[in-house]
Amino acid sequence: MGTEPETELLNVIDIEATCWDGQPPPGAVGEIIEIGLTVVDLRAAERIARHRILVRPARSTVSAFCTELTGLTQAEVDTGLPFADACRLLAAGHEAGARPWASWGDYDHNQFRRQCRATGTPYPFGHDGRHTNAKIPFTAAHALRKRPGMAEALRIAGLPLEGRHHSGADDAWNIAALVLDIAARGAWPTAG
């Protein structure tokens, strides 16, 4: 007779990337500069860990617009890991290949795929694509016509926005609260 696992862990991820007010400078591309990760125990209905990984961009720099939006500076991201090392840390240190993961929208998922392809870095989340765009079940659970942004979703759910919006670590923490709201409503997709 099998026993149920005591935990059902989910990685909630939010990234920040280099960005500009308008077009990027010649030769520059949007690159991940921060990975926020909150581990959610769906069975216990709680956020159990919070992580922040700074990533050093290789083909772009942090613009003044990006600093204003995210709070991240070039000097700060210069202390970060190279992208390939950050992906290895996700896979080895945060079980990214074994755990399902979620983000608010598809941008994070698509950016990881794009940047992995462009740099020849192995995709850290495994091959089965266990990614959930949390906007979709949230929109269904709240019977909305349009998929809201994260800050609006928090307002709809009656939850506070904790920390700084557009900080990867803070946004992952807030998205995790939304995941728990969805799960409490019985609308979080389950494996199997």
Residue with tokens 């923490």: 173
| Alpha carbon distance 171, 154 (integer Å) | 11
| Alpha carbon distance 121, 89 (integer Å) | 12
The total domain count for the chain is 1
Weakest mean pLDDT among 2-16, 129-143, 147-161: 2-16
| Alpha carbon distance 55, 103 (integer Å) | 18
Say if 29 falls within a structural domain.
yes
* Mean local confidence (pLDDT), 98-102: 95
Chain segment 68-93, per-residue pLDDT in tens = 999 999 999 999 999 999 999 999 99
Say if 93 falls within a structural domain.
yes
The percent of residues in the chain predicted with pLDDT above 70, rounded, is 94
* Lateral strand order in the sheet of 9-17: 81-82, 46-56, 32-41, 9-17, 101-103, 131-133
Amino acid 157: pLDDT: 98
Say if 189 falls within a structural domain.
no
Say if 192 falls within a structural domain.
no
pTM of the full structure: 0.94
- For position 101, which CATH number holds? 3.30.420.10
Amino acid 174: pLDDT: 98
Q: How sure is the predictor about 1, in pLDDT bands with cuts at 50, 70 and 90?
A: very low
Say if 191 falls within a structural domain.
no
Amino acid 35: pLDDT: 98
Say if 52 falls within a structural domain.
yes
Say if 2 falls within a structural domain.
no
116 vs 2, more confident: 116
| DSSP sequence for 35-93 | EEEEEEETTTTEEEEEEEEEEE-SS----HHHHHHH---HHHHTTSEEHHHHHHHHHHH
Chain segment 138-176, per-residue pLDDT in tens = 999 999 999 999 999 999 999 999 999 999 999 999 999
Say if 4 falls within a structural domain.
no
- Residue 71 is part of which domain span? 9-184
